[in-house]
Amino acid sequence: MPDLRFEGIGMTSARTRDRLVQRLREQGIANESVLERIRNVPRHIFVDEALGSRAYEDTALPIGFGQTISQPYIVARMTEALLEGGAADNVLEVGTGCGYQTAVLAPLVKRLSTIERIEPLLTRARERLKELGIRNVRFRHGDGALGWKTQGPFDAILVAAAPLTVPEPLLKQLKVGGRLVVPIGPEGHQQLVRFTRREQRNDREQLGAVAFVPLLGGTS
């Protein structure tokens, strides 16, 4: 019997999710595997029950500790950008948050390592992914700007918070040909950027304006 908590009713129903996917398609998201993950991941279980009716709006929502769950378009755009251009067997996510981006991305890659600096958020995310039966994720409470050297080098790295400049440890933990998708800049002036590591340089592509919470160092 399906779990009705995951299936959703009313504003969390399959019809509501289908409308969200259609909006994302109209906004240019073309990767069908990514769109299917957006359709199938129950976003409402990653937010407080009081916000559940808004879970399939294309907007960021608060998750506590001064953090937000990213809007579905941004999750889809970053995931699509990460998967383009090569292998994604070994991937790092910086900024687990509530675990929604993790849940969208994990089944699309072979192995996902994820780091979160706020321990209660990491604990909650681990529980949600376990409930969803997602088993290919390694979790770490730590400073994401430092990466996770012992799990690298990575085919791709996704950063779900905005540093002022790209953290060098993350670029160094990419394989040659690997991609780093990261929002960069101060609040109100952030750009989503994709770096691709080459033998002697890092190629840089700007993917559009975004708004993220800042990437902070340390743990809490």
Q: Which residues are the active-site residues?
A: 70
Please write down the long-range contacts of 38-43, taking CB distance under 8 Å and 24 or more positions apart.
38/72, 38/75, 38/76, 38/104, 39/14, 41/100, 41/103, 41/104, 41/132, 42/5, 42/6, 42/7, 42/8, 42/12, 42/132, 43/69, 43/72, 43/100
DSSP 214: B
Task: Check if the beta carbon of residue 40 is closer than 8 Å to that of residue 14.
Answer: no
How far is Cα 100 from Cα 176, in angstroms, rounded to an integer?
Answer: 28
CB atoms within 10 A of CB 188: 7
